[in-house]
Chain A
Amino acid sequence: MSWEDSLLKQAREIIDMYPQKRSAVGPLLHLAQSKDGYISDDSISVISKLVGITEVQLKSVSTFYSMYKQEPTGKYLLSVCKSISCEINKSDEIIDVVKDFTGLNNNETDKNGLFTFEAVECIGACGGAPAMQVNYETVEGLSPNNTLKLCEWLKKELPEVVVAEEMQEDFGGYKSFDWAISDQSGTTGSVPGFQTLKTTKERN
């Protein structure tokens, strides 16, 4: 076992939330990703022992979903939306700016481990298209110019934590609606196992 006790404790708490151990696989893989920035084979072995399914079954789940990263990402994961609303609102220009600035193609990480760029499907911010995420924190209503500023800011300031609201204020434009639903219960709330992982704001 290569996980620290605190992480294992958290994992067991997640497992206890479900009637069947294997149901906890989703949040546990996120937990693994929060540790290393990607799903390592070591983490898979740990989770396999915890939930009692084979390693290859976990590998199968983790490789199926593109948001479970198979390789370490850079300090900043830049996910630019390319789905229909953003596409109509010229997300290709945003993508070009990010590509030019970072010199990266889709799903590549730079040598310094600073940026990873990916063009992704809908991130749920259609009203504020075009939009992108930095480490899954969303910025809406982007212009090519602001996008460049955002990238430069990241490279210069190297903020330890990025928060959606701050980036939106400095670099964003038109915001669709308050997409961060505060109600944590009922059908609009997040899945119980994921709640333990907390949002960026809650963590910092």
Chain B
Amino acid sequence: MNENVKINVNGTEIQSAPNKLLIEACEDSGIHIPRFCWHKRLDPVGMCRMCLVEIETPRGKMLVPSCTTNITDDMVVDTESDVVKKAQEGVLEFLLINHPLDCPVCDKAGECPLQDQTMSYGPGESRFVEEKRHFEKPIPISEIILLDRERCILCARCTRFSDEISGDPLIEFIQRGNKTEVNTFPNEPFKSYFSGNTVQICPVGALTSTSYRFKARPWDLKSVRSTCSGCPVGCSIELNSSQNKMLRILGVDNDNVNQGWMCDKGRYNFEYLNSDLRLTSPLKKINGEFQKTTIKDIYSDLDEILKNNNNVKFLLGTNITNEEYVSFNEFAKKLTDEEPSFYINDDLLYEGFFEDDIQLAKINDLNEADTVVVWSEDLKENLPVLYLRVRQAVKNGAKLIVFGHSNSTLLDIADYFYTDDVISKNFEIGDSLPMLEGVEKFINDKNVTAIIGKSTPFQADESIKKLVSYLQKYSNLKILNAFSTGNVYGAFHTLSSIKNLSDFSEEVNSDNTDVLFVVGADPIGKSIYSNQIKKNIKDIDNVVCLDLFIHETSELGNYIIPTSSTLGEKEGTFTNIEFRTSRIDKLVPSPGQALSDWEFISGLSNFMKLDNNIDSLEELNIKAYEGLAQQTKPIFDNLDKPSNLDGILNNFEVNISTSENSGTNCDYFVGKKLYGDNVTIRYSHSISLLGAKQFIEANNSTISKLNLNSTKCLLSQDEVEVPVDFIENEKLSDGIIFIPINRRNLNKFDFSKKISITPNHSKAALNVN
């Protein structure tokens, strides 16, 4: 059954796996058949007829669309016959009847499949002299996507993507015949977290994004392949720049990881690189004011400080390369004989499941699994492309069991969705797991891939363990630990010990920390421990911040060193959620005197004569992967081999030593939204407003119990007051109130105490901090 199928294409015999589409089999053997609507990752539709080829049938030669024809043994195919050529010319002549000849002002020109294929397969001239169809030139179909209906050739790639892949079909064909257009429902914009993908797969310039429109011509672009460090999925991406300005990010089809897709935050959160507010020179706080200084001056100050103080701590963000983590590790080792203290800027960090008796899952294991179990943060908001992969797994036939309350976006496709009767309001799981209806037949002796992580920072570690040990007992379990911040998996294996922000807020409170390095982290603007951390940092005499911007945390620093972004400004490696290490590459120069974190640390080490051999990126890169077999070492030499561009998988030792969270009594479900109020989004103007709205969510009956007569209300606790909108979300269970902590000031509450929710009568309610 699994034997290869032999087919004859243009007189040459090719072999292919069975059940493949003709167009795909030809493509794999290097025979290109022109197409518009067919896309490897989408279901075929046969809309555009561009891929017509001739095959021999019992009734003679016949034209068939190769994107809807499966290969059969001994099929004889001609992709270049006169009949095929005539058909292709005809199709293109028809497509060009109404397609405007505005290539000189079209963003797609130069990389446009319609333009290219008209050149290669087109008739040369058209017999149509009639007026072309006209539509209003671009209409915004969402805040970030524009649609030019005149250019659309109705291939249905965008509508199929939004239906099949992302599951939010907010664009569709409207009307029919020659009036057909893609559009949204009136006042219902294409609000998708994945809308940028439709721009990338559009075979003409019909869909464009606000961030790239009229910015460059494709032939002027410089490009490099890199890895997105926005979340631990680590999508393979292509960075495009022109005149040293980052202009666009495209998804690269990495079969193991993102399969070409990206979330919109990953795709459009780059404009901050060119922001005027980027830090460009080192700053030193003198009499409470930041003043420009030189790196050398800072080095000599720090030399003095570090020589006289030895309680040094590091609060590290997660947009840091593995090499840089190593540099901090090596640096810290030289400063003190004790175990260095690294705190990662992540509220949800806990010990996870990395013990030897746990089988760790790869992302692709989702496709092999009989059952996928999810109990973690909202995947769609925090690991968006993993959410797409879960959808894909379900489409391929896997059963999906979701434990609440966080992943309500999976409710529609879940076979079982357990909420209030199984999971308490406080995210504790009951004892009755094996008794749950439905669970048994999908779990017992099945191949289960479980995505496991904390749903909310207050969840007790114990309740997650309960689920895992149950699954482990009855099924063949593979676990994908779901942490959701940047290169946190890189930190896991490069730093000698890792603690979380809760530890930071407690430990730093009690001991006398002399020096704190804060690297690319804004816990005050982002963490739920914001208030305590602010107090802690204020108490520390010497705070050194390495950051891109001045924000709530870095403004408390005594020194700020401007740094390069992981997005195209530095080189390094990144480790993703399945411990696949891939390359982060450089495309544009850093602004002003900005340094990579490792360059700063290396320079400081040299100045202090620490003699720790971290003088070059290559040294750090090799140090990061000591102890691995040479073949699978993700060192630059290996990663740059064509066969390793998708990254190299490894088993790493993980060093997390957070203190056990026994659960905090919290009346609210706090979590993150994809777009938040962090600095990089705020300074990326295309998407800056998407994370601005302050709101809370609950279902209708919960809302009505609060006796609010409008959607505007006021959250208040002590002196913190935040006016918010109340949004109805019927997917939440009764009594659950969701508060997005990455919206402005919503992380400033003490969630273990009562927050009062009152109607907001005052129109001029201001944020009081």
Q: Which residues on A are within 8 Å of B, measured CB to CB?
A: 41, 44, 52-57, 59-60, 63-64
Contacts and interface: CB of A to CB of B under 8 A. Distances in A.
B185 A59 contact: yes
B142 to A, nearest CB: 12
A60 B186 contact: no
A54 B170 contact: yes
Interface in B61-88: none
Contacts of B186: 41
21 contacts: A41-B185, A41-B186, A52-B412, A53-B169, A54-B170, A54-B172, A54-B188, A55-B188, A56-B169, A56-B170, A56-B172, A56-B174, A56-B183, A56-B188, A57-B169, A59-B172, A59-B185, A60-B173, A63-B174, A63-B176, A64-B175
Nearest to B172: A60
A63 B169 contact: no
B259 interface: no
Report which residue of B176, B183, B188 has the largest number of chain A beta carbons within 10 angstroms of its beta carbon: B188
Interface string B155-187: 000000000000011111111100000011110
Nearest to A61: B172
Contacts of A52: 412
Contacts of A44: 185
A65 to B, nearest CB: 8
Contacts of A54: 168-170, 172, 185, 188
Given A56-B185, A60-B174, 5 more contacts: A56-B184, A56-B188, A63-B174, A63-B175, A64-B176
Contacts of A57: 169, 172
B83 to A, nearest CB: 31
Contacts of A64: 173, 175-176
Nearest to A70: B175
Nearest to A59: B185
Nearest to B184: A56
B225 to A, nearest CB: 35
B171 A56 contact: yes
Contacts of B183: 56
A154 to B, nearest CB: 30
Q: Across chains A and B, which 6 residue pairs bring their CB atoms closest together, nearest first?
A: A60-B172, A55-B185, A56-B185, A56-B172, A64-B176, A63-B175
Interface string B46-72: 000000000000000000000000000
Contacts of B412: 52
A63 B168 CA distance: 20
Nearest to B169: A54
A159 to B, nearest CB: 33
Given A41-B185, A41-B186, A54-B185, A59 B174 contact: yes
Contacts of A60: 172-174
A64 B175 CA distance: 5
A53 B168 CA distance: 10
Contacts of A53: 169
A164 to B, nearest CB: 29
Q: B interface, by DSSP: helix, strand, loop or mixed?
A: loop
A67 to B, nearest CB: 12
Interface in B188-205: 188
Contacts of B173: 60, 64
Nearest to A62: B174
B141 to A, nearest CB: 10
Nearest to A49: B730
Contacts of B169: 53-54, 56-57
B194 to A, nearest CB: 15
Nearest to B168: A54
Contacts of A41: 185-186
A32 to B, nearest CB: 15
A2 B489 CA distance: 51
A201 B711 CA distance: 48
**Chain B CB within 10 Å, residue with most, of A53, A54, A56, A64:** A56
Contacts of A55: 185, 188
B377 to A, nearest CB: 25
B543 to A, nearest CB: 50
Contacts of A56: 169-172, 174, 183-185, 188
Contacts of B170: 54, 56
B446 to A, nearest CB: 27
Contacts of B168: 54
A146 to B, nearest CB: 33
Nearest to B175: A63
A148 B720 CA distance: 77
A63 B183 CA distance: 12
A55 B188 CA distance: 8
A51 to B, nearest CB: 13
A56 B183 CA distance: 8
A54 B172 CA distance: 10
Contacts of A63: 174-176
A55 B168 CA distance: 11
B365 to A, nearest CB: 30
A44 B183 CA distance: 15
Nearest to B163: A57
Nearest to A66: B176
Contacts of B172: 54, 56-57, 59-60
Interface in B492-529: none
Nearest to B412: A52
Contacts of B176: 63-64
A158 to B, nearest CB: 33
A63 B173 CA distance: 9
A175 B186 CA distance: 45
Nearest to B171: A56
Nearest to A55: B185
A60 B168 CA distance: 15
A52 B184 CA distance: 17
For B175, B176, B185, B412, the residue with the greatest tally of chain A CB atoms inside 10 Å of its CB is B185
A44 B172 CA distance: 14
A125 B184 CA distance: 38
A55 B174 CA distance: 11
B730 to A, nearest CB: 10
A195 B173 CA distance: 29
A174 B483 CA distance: 77
A41 B185 CA distance: 9
Task: Point out which of B168, B169, B412 has the most chain A C-beta atoms below 10 A from its C-beta.
Answer: B169
B581 to A, nearest CB: 39
A57 B168 CA distance: 11
Nearest to B730: A49
A57 B184 CA distance: 9
A53 B167 CA distance: 11
Interface string B559-603: 000000000000000000000000000000000000000000000
A57 B176 CA distance: 13
A166 B4 CA distance: 68
Nearest to A44: B185
Nearest to B179: A63
Contacts of B175: 63-64
A53 B176 CA distance: 20
A53 B169 CA distance: 8
A64 B184 CA distance: 15
A55 B190 CA distance: 12
B184 to A, nearest CB: 6
A55 B173 CA distance: 12
A59 B184 CA distance: 9
A55 B176 CA distance: 17
Interface string B222-233: 000000000000
B173 to A, nearest CB: 5
A129 B112 CA distance: 51
Nearest to A64: B176
A41 B171 CA distance: 15
A69 to B, nearest CB: 13
A45 to B, nearest CB: 8
A54 B171 CA distance: 9
B105 to A, nearest CB: 29
